[in-house]
């Protein structure tokens, strides 16, 4: 537990520095995370005899990251289409080495990590000309929203863990994640909604919309966690990796973010949070 706490403190401090710095450092850090998560994903499915398209996946993830950083949606669709067709073609040209199931599993992983981490990049660079006043000074809109996304996601995991540990007795999804409880999930919903609602005062954002976002984050964060749990149960692994002492792998730490980042990105696209 001590290792977990120390690693968490160091990780949060490092992440805070990267988020606040933004620019190339932030974008490059997200790229590294996506590539490491892809490696863990490929390794996980190799335990079931899978032979995923590792190199094609690396290339596709780099291209998707570049499109996200440059904001080129049209090029992103081109990369996605090319990736899907090329990997499916690989199952034909390399028949016997790469099965059709391997090809489909590869495509799922590339889109899972490439698009979701791409939304993390796009969130950070949203509307840099819009500044939000806070007790700690002005924040670029994208920087503030990234903090909302991460704090909301961490709140979901934290409240679920502590409430579930304290009073949890009814299993939420025992066949997928035996430790999750209904009480923990409800604690996550209440705690996350309250946390994001509190951030509305810190950043000067509309309270009702932020409370709604917090509620949605709690749901998607839980689903993101359960998706990885399904994958780990299928592949027979306990953790996706051991790169983060006490916390497992990158996929373990960012499984919820892979769902909440797209949610927050599209939320701010359709719900105006500034100018109210």
- What pLDDT, on a 0 to 100 scale, did the predictor assign at position 276? 52
Place of tokens 């929203």: 145
Q: Is 215 left (phi over 0), alpha (psi -120 to 50) or beta?
A: alpha
| Structure confidence at residue 2 (pLDDT) | 63
Give the 3-state secondary structure of 222-255: HHHHHHHHHHHHHHCCCCCCCCECCCECHHHHHC
Whether pTM exceeds 0.85? yes
Q: What pLDDT is recorded for position 242?
A: 81
Of 204, 198, 197, 199, whose CA–CA distance to 138 is shortest?
204
Encoded tokens for 40: 């863990």
Q: What is the pLDDT of residues 143-175, one digit of tens each?
A: 999 999 999 999 999 999 999 999 988 999 988
pLDDT score recorded for residue 1? 63
Residue 234 confidence (pLDDT) = 94
Distance between CA 64 and CA 66 in Å, rounded? 5
Residues of the chain with pLDDT under 70: 1-2, 246, 275-276
Question: Per residue in 178-193, pLDDT tens?
Answer: 889 999 999 999 999 9
């Amino acid at each position: 537990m001590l290792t977990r706490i120390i690693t968490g403190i160091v990780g949060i401090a490092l992440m805070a520095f990267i988020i606040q710095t933004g620019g190339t450092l932030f974008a490059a850090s997200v790229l590294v995370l996506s590539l490491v998560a892809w490696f863990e994903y490929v390794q996980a499915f190799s335990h079931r005899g899978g032979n995923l398209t590792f190199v094609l996946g690396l290339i596709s993830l780099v291209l998707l990251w570049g499109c996200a950083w440059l904001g080129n949606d049209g090029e992103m669709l081109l990369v996605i289409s090319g990736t899907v067709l090329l990997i499916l073609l690989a199952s034909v040209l390399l028949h016997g080495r790469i099965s059709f199931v391997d090809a489909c599993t590869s495509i799922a992983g590339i889109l899972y990590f490439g698009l979701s981490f791409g939304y993390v990049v796009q969130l950070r660079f949203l509307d840099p000309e819009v500044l939000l006043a806070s007790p700690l000074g002005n924040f670029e809109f994208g920087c503030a929203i990234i903090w909302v996304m991460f704090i909301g996601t961490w709140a979901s995991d934290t409240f679920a863990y502590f409430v579930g540990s304290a009073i949890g007795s009814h299993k939420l999804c025992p066949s997928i994640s035996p430790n999750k409880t209904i009480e923990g999930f409800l604690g996550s919903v209440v705690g996350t909604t309250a946390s994001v609602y509190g951030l509305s005062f810190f950043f000067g954002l509309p309270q009702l919309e932020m409370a709604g976002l917090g509620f949605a984050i709690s749901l998607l964060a839980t689903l993101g966690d359960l998706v990885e749990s399904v994958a780990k149960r299928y592949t027979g692994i306990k953790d996706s990796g051991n790169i983060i002492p006490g916390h497992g792998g990158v996929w373990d730490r960012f499984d919820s973010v892979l769902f909440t980042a797209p949610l927050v990105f599209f939320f701010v696209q359709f719900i105006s949070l500034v100018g109210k």
